[in-house]
Amino acid sequence: MPMLMSLASAWIVLPAVLLAGGLIGASGIGGVLLVPVLTKLGEVPLPQAIAAASLGFALPALVALRPLLRERAQAARCIPLLAGALAGAGAGALLVRWLPAAALMTGVTLLVLFSGWRGLRAAAAAPAPAAPLGTPLLLALGVAVGLGSALTGTGGPVLVLPLLMLLRQPVGFAVMAAQAVQLPVALASSAVHAIEGRLDLRLAALCGLLMLAGSLAGQRAAAGLDMRQLQRFVSLLLLAVGSWFAWLLLA
């Protein structure tokens, strides 16, 4: 058992981490639960929680790469986004000790809530998707997502998924990109955290294995949904996560 977490709190934290993995597999954004669970329930200090979460996301991200590898055209579209996320996450991990995470989380909360609301409206109206984003925009989007994800320990999907939905990209591509972006964010940010001595490898490995198991189950559960159902599910989940973030900020 990691030294940063007591045995008593582990009985609450571990099932919550497993649930986060299930939501990652189903929609890509379950990882937003991890840092609040570790800090609020596991009493892990915030810098160590962010570091452990960053590396822990690598394992469910590997699961998410399977459908991406089957869709070669989608994979090619994701490359600029993933490259930008790799650079942004490294920079964000370096800045995590100096920038106020609460201010950034306020912006993330507003983005998530607005995207969930708009996604529900879009699912009801079924508008046509916009044209695919160009390479420069995907690269810039990746940098912003990597930077914000490393600063908050949210793994990437909670930022990239609402942004792609706001830009009216197909929900299937948005979910796939959100799941894949976890890997460059995890690799870049956790390397910096390890160099700076914030990374508890046992805690990160435990979280990663639990999220991996949950992600496999979640991916199977989401496979039976059509695109309209998937967009509605993701939008409702965004609203739930945004509401929880708002409660945490006001608590």
Q: How far apart are CA 136 and CA 175, in angstroms?
A: 20
2 pLDDT above the threshold of 50? no
R_g of the chain computed on alpha carbons: 17
Local structure of residue 5 (DSSP, 8 states): S
Q: What was the pLDDT predicted at 233? A: 76
Task: State the burial class of residue 217 (Cβ atoms within 10 Å of its Cβ: 0-12, 13-18, 19+).
Answer: middle
Task: Please write down the HEC assignment for all residues of 20-50.
Answer: HHHHHHHHCCHHHHHHHHHHHHCCCCHHHHH
Q: Is the pLDDT of residue 46 over 80?
A: no
- Angle at Cα 214 formed by Cα 88 and Cα 240, nearest 5°? 70
Quickly state the pLDDT bin for 239 (edges 50, 70, 90).
confident
- 230, pLDDT greater than 60: yes
Question: Which pLDDT band, with edges at 50, 70 and 90, does 170 fall under?
Answer: confident
Percent of all residues in the chain with a pLDDT value above 90, rounded to a whole number = 8
- Residue closest to 33 by CA, chosen among 45, 47, 49, 11: 49
Where does the chain show beta strands of DSSP type E?
Answer: none
Query: In the prediction, which pLDDT does 1 show?
Result: 40
**Segment 88-146, tens digit of pLDDT:** 988 888 886 776 666 666 776 776 787 677 767 765 655 566 788 889 999 999 999 99
Give the span between the Cα atoms of 160 and 80, in whole angstroms: 13
Give the Cα separation of 177 and 163 in Å (integer): 11
